[in-house]
Structure 1
């Protein structure tokens, strides 16, 4: 790796740490109903999937299923999500939000938007779009083996 690439990586890591730590802290402090950031993100993923499974959540979070199961159990015990077995394959379990889960998620989503949106006011729309597109591209590359598209 050349020096320039090392500088870019270090700058990225420095900015990433500042942004994620501060945004996560602000989100944690603003989310109602005692949700953790991970619980909010789990609800967000469940909300975006018609048939959500714990396997999908574990892959999305890049963690083991046991870690996801612990969070799912807490969300279920709190009445935010429910499990439904597939009628044709009883081993398959789908996760969905209850009404309480949906209202809690929607309130948390609104609070997250209120925390994050003021930062975007410091940038032009085209810069925001370019940043988001590049960040999404980085995310897609990170999902590919070896970090490159074939």
Structure 2
């Protein structure tokens, strides 16, 4: 029985390592986090988008999307303009610098995962989803997903961190 526990923990650790390795490679090559890359990708698929549609597409809270957008705007990757009919609304678009950063980025882990997952039979997809949900419950992670703050992306840190290395600068309570 302990062999199965050990095998399960090793498999989880391999997933974590793949996630962390992907985030490091992305940060090293582009200086972006996975969530920032997803925002750029969303904008590349459209001429313009609002922060609300970006939040929905990326799967984060609107406040988190706003933080991501502000960091991308500060780097010159995103352009913001006020709505013409509603001046309170902002429209965002990708700049040429943002497009170049997106093109320079390695293929994100979740894209490779989604591509392979989509090729699985329906029964196998259902089995994997059920198993992963059960693992989350065993790890008492179910309450986290109910808050609505869990984005559908493979990223080890906070979704609005500027860089994965920011975790290293946190204090003892886990905050900056």
Query: TM-score scaled to structure 2, two decimals?
Result: 0.52
Report 1 or 2 for greater relative contact order, CA contacts < 8 Å, sequence distance ≥ 6: 2
RMSD of the alignment, in Å?
Answer: 3.6
Number of equivalent positions: 115
Q: Is structure 2 residue 128 aligned with structure 1 residue 131?
A: no
5+ long unaligned stretches in structure 1: 1-10, 120-126, 139-150
Q: 1:39 to 1:129 in 2, by over 3 A?
A: closer
Query: More helix by proportion, 1 or 2?
Result: 1
Query: TM-score scaled to structure 1, two decimals?
Result: 0.59
Q: 1:67 to 1:132 in 2, by over 3 A?
A: farther
Match of 2:61 in 1: 64
Match of 1:28 in 2: 23
5+ long unaligned stretches in structure 2: 1-7, 130-176
Match of 2:87 in 1: 90
SS at match of 2:70: helix
Q: Runs (4+) of structure 1 moved beyond 4 Å? A: 14-19, 113-117, 132-135
- For 1:30 and 1:79, locate their aligned partners in 2 and report how far apart those are by CA, in whole Å: 21
